Amino acid sequence: MKQKTILSIILFNLLIFNAFGQVNVKVGYADVEYILSKMPETAKAQAELDVTTKRITKTRDSIIKDYNIKLEDYKKNVTTFDDTIKKEKEDNLIVIQKELQRFDEDVQAAVNYKKNEYLKPIYSKIAELVSEVAKENGYTHILNSQINGSSVLIYAEETTDISDLVIAKANK
C-alpha cells in the first residue's frame, strides 16, 4: 500500500510538471528481477549458495541419522529399560529434536543472509547499469515494474521497458 501511494505521488508530480511544461519528462521502467535473472553474476552467486546449502544439508542429514539411530534403539529396547534409563533416553531424543528445529531455523537465517550477501553487489551493479542506460536514452525517471513480486505499474508501453538494454549493457 505504501509503495502504491509513493508511486501515485511520483506519477502525479510528473504529470503536473509535464502539464505546465516546466520539465521534459521521459519515464521508463525496468524489471529488476528479470535483469537479475539474466546477469552472469547471478549464476555464480547461485552456485556458491548451492555449495553452502549442500554443506549444511550434509550436517543436517548427519543429525537426523543420529536421531533415527537413537530412536530405533529406543523403540527396540524400550521394554528392557528401567524408568530412569527410559526417561533419560526420551529426554535425549527430545533434546535432539529441539536441536534439529533450532538448526533448521539458524540455517534458514544463514542462507538468507548469504543470499543477500551474494546479491547485494549484483543489485548495486544493476542500479548503476539502469542509471547509465537511462542517461544514454534520455530518461528522466525509471520505475521498477514490480516490487516483491507485485506489479507497481498500471500501464506502460513496451517501448519504455529498458530491461533488455540494461542486460545488453551488462553483457558488454
Write out pLDDT tens, residues 128-151. 898 889 888 888 888 887 767 665
Write out pLDDT tens, residues 48-105. 999 988 998 898 899 899 889 999 998 998 889 899 999 998 999 999 999 999 988 9
pLDDT number for residue 9: 64
Which cell is 102 given?
A: 533450532
Distances from the Cα of 33 to the Cα of 64, 73, 109, 123, 147, angstroms: 36, 50, 22, 9, 9
More confident residue, 133 or 155: 133
pLDDT number for residue 120: 93
